[in-house]
Structure 1
C-alpha cells in the first residue's frame, strides 16, 4: 500500500513543472500580450519578453522542449532512482490529452469549434479506455511492474541500460508522440467548416475505440479465466480465439490503428496530408510489437502448437474469416 501511494503521488506531481510553466505563459499573454514591445527596457524584462515571444511564435518547438525537459529528463531520472520505467506507460495516454489541450489553448490557436469539441470528446474517451485497460491489467496498482519490452532491453544492454534507456524509451517516445499527435495541432490551427470527411474521420475514430475496448475486455476476461483455472489446478486455455479474436490475432492493435488513422484523416482533410506520417509510423511500430508478442506466445510449450495453428488460420490485424490450417487437406487424405 505504501509503495502504491508513493507512486501515485509521483505520477501526480511529475508533470507539474511543464504545466505550471505553460499556465504562467498563458497568464502572461492574457495580461500583457506576447509582444516584445510591451515589456520594459531592463535586461531581465527584455530576456523574459524574448522567452514569451519565442513560446508564442513556436508552439510545436515549445511542446517538444517541455517534453524533453519534463518527460525525457525528469521521468528518466525517476526511472533511474526507482530502477523501473513504469511512469511513461501511465503517461502515454495522458501526454496525448495534454498535447491536444495545449494546441487548443495556445494563443495562436484558431479552429472550428465543432471539430475541436468532437476531437476532444473522442480523445478523452480514447484515453480513459486505454488508462482503464492499463490499470485493470495491473490490478489497479501504480508502478507495480515495468513493461516487459523494457525488461528485455534491460537484460540486453546490461550495465549500459542506464543511459541507453534515455534514448530508447524517452527520446524515442517523444519523437513518436509529438509526431503522431500532429493532427491535434492541425485541427487547432486551421479554421475550416465541418464537411463530409470530418464525419468519415469521426466514424473511423469511434470504430477504432469500440473495437479496441471490446478486444481488450475479451483479452482481460480470458487472462482472468486462465488465472482461476490455474488456482483450481485445471489446464488453461492455450490461446484466445473467441469473439473478435476469432477473426484477428490482434484486434486491439487494429482498433488502435483505426483511431490514429482517423485523426490523420482530420489532418489530411484540413490540407495537411503530411500528418498521415504519424499514423504510418504508429502502424510500423505496432507491426514490430506484433512480431515480439507472437514470439513470446510461441516460447510457451503449452500453447506453442495451438498458437501456430492460430497463426495459420487467423488474420494478423484486419478481422477476416478463418482459413484452413496449412497441410490439413494432405493430412485428411
Structure 2
C-alpha cells in the first residue's frame, strides 16, 4: 500500500523532531508527550492518502478519534512533565550507555516507540482505505472509544485534583494517603483501562469491513503494553513500596472496573 510510506514517514519525522527536542531539553521523557501525537499524525496521513479510496464517513471518524485522543494525551502529559527532570524509567534504561548517550537513547527509547506506534496504528492505516459503509460494528467501536475517553479524561482529572489536595496538606497527615476516590475506587488504573478501550474502539471501526479485522494484533499489543509492559506492571513495581498502596491493591481491581472488595476477602 503506497500510503505506508507516508504514514511511516510521518512517524519517523515526528520521532526525529522529538529526539532533537529531547537533546535540547536534556531529558528524553519528551517522547511520552509525543506518543499521542504520533497516532494523530498517522491518522491524518492515512486520511489524506486515502482520499478517493475509503468510505468518507469512516475516514473522518478515524482521523477524529485518533486526533482527539492523541492531542488530549499529549497536552496532559506535556503539562504534567513541565518543569520536571528526567523520568526515573529512562534514567534506569539509559544508564548503561553513557559512552554514546544520543545513540543509546535512539536505540532504547525513540526507535522502539516509533516501531510500536507504527504497528499499533494499523487500524487507522487500513480502515481509512475500506470502501464499505459504516455499520453497527463501527458504531460499537465509537461507543467504546467514548467510554475509554471518559475513563482517561476523568481519571486523569481526578488524579490531578488529588495531587493538588495532597500538596496542600501537612506531609505527616497524608503520608499513607492513596488515591482511591472516583474512578480510582473501582480500578487502580482508570487511565490505562480507558486507553485500552480507545484502541479496541478504533479497531472495531476498522474491523467493520475486511481487511480491518486483520489489524487485531494492534489493540492486543496495546493492551499487553498497558497491563504487562511499561504501563500497569512497571508503575505498580514502584508504587507497592508506598504506605497504604498494598492495602489499596488488595481491595481494588487492577484493570477492569469492579466494585471494591471488602476487607478480609
TM-score range, shorter chain: 0.7 to 0.9
Aligned to 2:193: 254
Change (3 A) 1:298 1:188: same
Q: Distance in 2 between matches of 1:157 and 1:291?
A: 25
Change (3 A) 1:200 1:107: closer
Q: Distance in 2 between matches of 1:105 and 1:237?
A: 51
Check if 1:122 corresponds to 2:122: no
Unaligned runs of 5+ in 1: 1-56
- Once the two structures are superposed, residues 7-43 of structure 1 have per-residue CA deviations (whole angstroms, 9 ceiling, x without a partner) of xxxxxxxxxxxxxxxxxxxxxxxxxxxxxxxxxxxxx
Q: Distance in 2 between matches of 1:115 and 1:61?
A: 21
Check if 1:196 corresponds to 2:136: yes
Q: Distance in 2 between matches of 1:79 and 1:323?
A: 43
Answer yes or no: is the 8 Å Cα contact 1:79–1:85 preserved in 2.
yes
Aligned to 2:8: 64
- Once the two structures are superposed, residues 100-127 of structure 1 have per-residue CA deviations (whole angstroms, 9 ceiling, x without a partner) of 1111111665222222222333333323
Return the match for 2:124 from 169, 184, 197: 184
Change (3 A) 1:75 1:131: closer
Answer yes or no: is the 8 Å Cα contact 1:312–1:324 preserved in 2.
no
- State the shift of 1:175 in Å: 1.2
- State the shift of 1:145 in Å: 3.3
Check if 1:311 corresponds to 2:249: yes
Check if 1:95 corresponds to 2:38: yes
Aligned to 2:241: 299
Answer yes or no: is the 8 Å Cα contact 1:100–1:185 preserved in 2.
yes
Query: TM-score, normalized by length of structure 2?
Result: 0.88
Change (3 A) 1:120 1:82: closer
Change (3 A) 1:62 1:126: closer
Residues paired across the two proteins, number: 262
Q: Distance in 2 between matches of 1:123 and 1:64?
A: 16
Check if 1:239 corresponds to 2:181: no
Query: TM-score, normalized by length of structure 1?
Result: 0.71
Aligned to 2:89: 149
Q: Report the secondary structure of 2:141's partner residue.
A: helix
- State the shift of 1:73 in Å: 4.4
Answer yes or no: is the 8 Å Cα contact 2:38–2:70 preserved in 1.
no
Answer yes or no: is the 8 Å Cα contact 2:35–2:70 preserved in 1.
no
Check if 1:275 corresponds to 2:212: no
Check if 1:113 corresponds to 2:56: yes
Higher helix share: 1
Which is higher, the Rg of structure 1 or of structure 2?
Answer: 1
Comparing 205-214 and 182-191, the one that deviates more: 182-191
Change (3 A) 1:205 1:171: same
Q: Distance in 2 between matches of 1:206 and 1:317?
A: 18
Change (3 A) 1:194 1:102: same
Q: Report the secondary structure of 1:299's partner residue.
A: coil
Unaligned runs of 5+ in 2: none
Q: Distance in 1 between matches of 2:213 and 2:15?
A: 29
- State the shift of 1:250 in Å: 0.6
Over aligned residue pairs, what C-alpha RMSD do you find?
Answer: 2.4
Q: Distance in 1 between matches of 2:63 and 2:182?
A: 30
Q: Distance in 2 between matches of 1:197 and 1:317?
A: 24
Return the match for 2:161 from 221, 241, 245: 221
- Once the two structures are superposed, residues 192-251 of structure 1 have per-residue CA deviations (whole angstroms, 9 ceiling, x without a partner) of 1121111101100111001111111111111111111147x7434521111111110111
